[in-house]
Amino acid sequence: MIKFLDLEKINNRFRDEIDGRIANVLDRGWYLLGGENDNFCDHFAEYVGTKYCLGVANGLDALTLIIKAYDFAPGDEIIVPANTYIATILSISENGLTPVLVEPDINTYNIDPKKIEEKITERTRAIMVVHLYGRAVEMKEIWDLAKKYNLKVFEDCAQAHGAIYDGHRVGNLSDAAAFSFYPGKNLGAFGDAGAITTNDEDIYKKVKTLANYGSDKKYHFQYRGKNSRLDEIHAAVLDVKLKYLDADNERRREIARYYIEHITNPKIVLPTLNGMDEKSCVWHVFPVRTENRNAFQQYLTDNEIQTIIHYPIAPHKQPAYAEWNNLSYPITEEIHDTIISLPISPVMTDEEVKKVVEVVNAFN
């Protein structure tokens, strides 16, 4: 079986380095807010290009804490893509704000900048972009809208570690950005983990306090915060793997390039860079569309190729948001009804990549 993502093989490449760093944590006996956390956050901020990075417990917390730090009023609106993983939307709801869904561009799967302005109202306070599937959002129109209407811009970078837009890495294209280091991400920990990046010192200090129960001094609580901290073992693992992220992303680009050049089955709609630079996408997944998805997935399984659907049900069709269930977002719905992700990872062999192409091209 060609695995969708072979995490054991991915992480075993760094086994000796990781073992050594974990041993250091054990020897020090310090498990939270220690040297490993400081090292990783410093290195990740440098990598992203921001002044500050705060390690937190997971990507959802990162998004939630960013919004909480801005003290928006209950009922204020944040524009968000309709085509996203539900965590992006949950972070808005959790803060008592109103998510306003905007359709994606069918060619990029990301929020369509041309559809945003019509959704801006007097209650709009921010635009939350999601660099979905590893592809950077086209930001220039969004920056212009933010300036025109005095809005904040936030990034959900959970799937796009290392992607570059307009000379800057994602995470450095907004007022504040959230990352997830869930094990399957391009940069993955050994469990749930996340980070916030920003160039705003005041916001950095506030999210740091909020993530520590609202405390900036032991047993003194400035805010009603939460417990959301990146532990030392995860930080150590991430710091090791960060050194290899660009090389791993380049391997993903090589595989994506081969797929795009050699998959010729007319029943399969391939992703496109839509004129953007290759560096703008790190191919967290390789999403294709097909009208007969269930049959296609079963066919690939029968041929020893593992796939995953990202995602089968659109957020506005989920029971968690029943008030939206009767709404129509046809582009989002088309994507969720037809999309399926082929295997792509830095440890795939050339032979495995070629087999995927051959099997996909033989589907009828």
User: At which of 221, 242, 263 does a domain end?
Assistant: 242
Residue 176: φ, ψ to 5°: -160, 150
Total count of residues recorded for the chain = 364
Do 221 and 294 have their domain in common?
no
Question: Nearest 10 degrees: CA dihedral of 47, 53, 54, 57?
Answer: -30
- The CATH number of the domain where 185 resides is what? 3.40.640.10
Shared domain check, 125 and 94: yes
Which candidate, 243, 241, 347, 335, places its Cα nearest to that of 15? 241
C-alpha 296, offset from chain centre: 26
Q: How many domains does the chain have?
A: 2
Q: Quote the CA–CA distance of 172 and 170 in Å, as a whole number.
A: 5
Instruction: Answer with the one of 204, 225, 242 that is the final residue of a domain.
Output: 242
Rounded distance, CA 242 to CA 161, Å?
10
What range does the domain containing 289 cover?
245-361
Distance CA 289, CA 312 (A): 12
Q: Are 97 and 60 in the same domain? A: yes
Instruction: Give the C-alpha separation, 167 to 280, whole Å.
Output: 9
First to last CA, the chain: 21
Identify whether 1 is part of a domain: no
Of the pLDDT bands very low, low, confident and very high (cuts 50, 70, 90), residue 71 is very high
Smallest CA-to-CA distance from 153 within 133, 126, 172 is with 126
159 plus 288 within the same structural domain: no
Query: Which residue, of 213, 242, 271, is where some domain finishes?
Result: 242
pLDDT band of residue 274 (cuts 50, 70, 90) is confident
Task: Tell me the three-class secondary structure of the chain, residue by residue.
Answer: CECCCCHHHHHHCCHHHHHHHHHHHHHHCCCECCHHHHHHHHHHHHHHCCCEEEEECCHHHHHHHHHHHCCCCCCCEEEEECCCCHHHHHHHHHCCCEEEEECECCCCCCECHHHCHHHCCCCEEEEEEECHHHECCCCHHHHHHHHHHCCEEEEECCCCCCCEECCEECCCCCCEEEEECCCCCCCCCCCCCEEEEECCHHHHHHHHHHCECCEEECCEECCCCCECCCEHHHHHHHHHHHCCHHHHHHHHHHHHHHHHHHCCCCCCECCCCCCCCHHHECCCCEEEECCCHHHHHHHHHHCCECCECCCCCCHHHCHHHHHHCCCCCHHHHHHHHHEEEECCCCCCCHHHHHHHHHHHHCCC
Q: Which pLDDT does position 35 carry in this prediction?
A: 96
Q: pLDDT tens digit string along 140-163?
A: 999 999 999 999 999 999 999 999
The model's pLDDT over 297-315, given as tens digits with 9 standing for 90+, comes to 999 999 999 999 999 999 9
- Find, among 89, 87, 138, the residue nearest to 109 by Cα: 138
Residues 350 and 225 in one domain: no
Domain shared by 230 and 158, yes or no: yes
Neighbour tally for 75: CB within 10 Å: 9
Q: What is the pLDDT of residues 82-109, one digit of tens each?
A: 999 999 999 999 999 999 999 999 999 9
Tokens of 302: 């029968």
User: What number is the average pLDDT over the span 19-42?
Assistant: 96
Residues forming beta bridges with residue 169, ordered by sequence position: 164
- Letter for the amino acid at 64? T
Asked, for residue 55, whether it belongs to a domain, the answer is yes
When pLDDT is cut at 50, 70 and 90, the band that residue 173 belongs to is: very high
Q: Are residues 259 and 215 in the same domain?
A: no
- Tell me the torsion sign for CA atoms 280, 134, 355, 336: negative
CA distance 307 to 4: 6
Number of other CB atoms surrounding residue 338 within 10 Å: 17
**Within a domain: 2:** no
Q: Which of 127, 173, 158 is nearest to 310 (CA)?
A: 158
* Predicted local confidence at residue 79, as pLDDT: 98
Q: What mean pLDDT is predicted for residues 219-231? A: 96
